[in-house]
Amino acid sequence: MHDDLRQPRLLDEDGPAVPDVPGFVYRPDVITVEEESALLDEVTALAFRPFMFRGIEARRRVAAFGVGYSFDRQALTEAPPLPAFLLPLAARVAPLGGVAVGDIAEALVTDYSPGAGIGWHRDAPPFDVIIGVSLLAPCLFRLRPYVPPGRSRRGQGKPLSLTVAARSAYVLSGSARSDWEHHIPQGVTRRVSITFRTLRRRAGRSA
């Protein structure tokens, strides 16, 4: 594991460099090709379920560990413990988010089919620091300031864009987590992500 934690210079749609987003960290090559292959072998054996959002089935499958989250009930749910094969990865990337591995409450493995993406959003309110690891294929990762529903985005400028490479990790914490939202456009190939999340203080759990 590397010792120097660097934040990227994000690019906007036209290519010029722009300042970093506070709380956003990007790190390429957090795992090797061999480690990625071993993780994918384990992922293949997981019991995935379709991702459902407000009664609509998305074009991706998920397997949650530690805790889950019900968007219909807007509450945390129980999930199986983190499997052994995810623990070394969690220990490796936790320092990128400035957290201890014991603070990680959820690991969400997501299998994106070709053509799958994620719309603009902030992660569910109970979660705090978000650490995502990409496997198999790169994706475009976009960030923009969060604007509450009903308010105009006029004057906000273009979204910031970063190509997140396979075997890389990103972190959303602080302002990047609370004041910005993110979006992953539809991809042309299958991609797998492993997302680790900590909980905000006093977040309750629902069975």
- What structural domains and CATH numbers belong to the chain? 11-199 (2.60.120.590)
Q: Supply the pLDDT for residue 39.
A: 98
Side-chain half-sphere of 4: how many Cα atoms within 13 Å? 2
Give the integer Cα–Cα distance in Å for 86 and 42. Answer: 9
Residues 135/191, Cβ–Cβ less than 8 Å: yes
Give the integer Cα–Cα distance in Å for 117 and 191. Answer: 10
| DSSP assigned state of 66 | S
* Residues found in the chain: 207
The alpha-helical segments, DSSP class H, found in 75-136 are 87-93
| Residue 171 scores a pLDDT above 50 | yes
| Residue 140 scores a pLDDT above 80 | yes
Q: How confident is the model at residue 91 (pLDDT cuts 50, 70, 90)?
A: very high
Q: Supply the pLDDT for residue 150.
A: 77
Average pLDDT estimate for 111-131: 93
| Residue 38 scores a pLDDT above 90 | yes
Amino acid at 165: A
Q: How confident is the model at residue 68 (pLDDT cuts 50, 70, 90)?
A: confident
Rounded to 5°, the CA angle 198-41-79 comes to 35
Report the range of poorest mean pLDDT among 47-56, 71-80, 159-168.
47-56
pTM here is 0.85
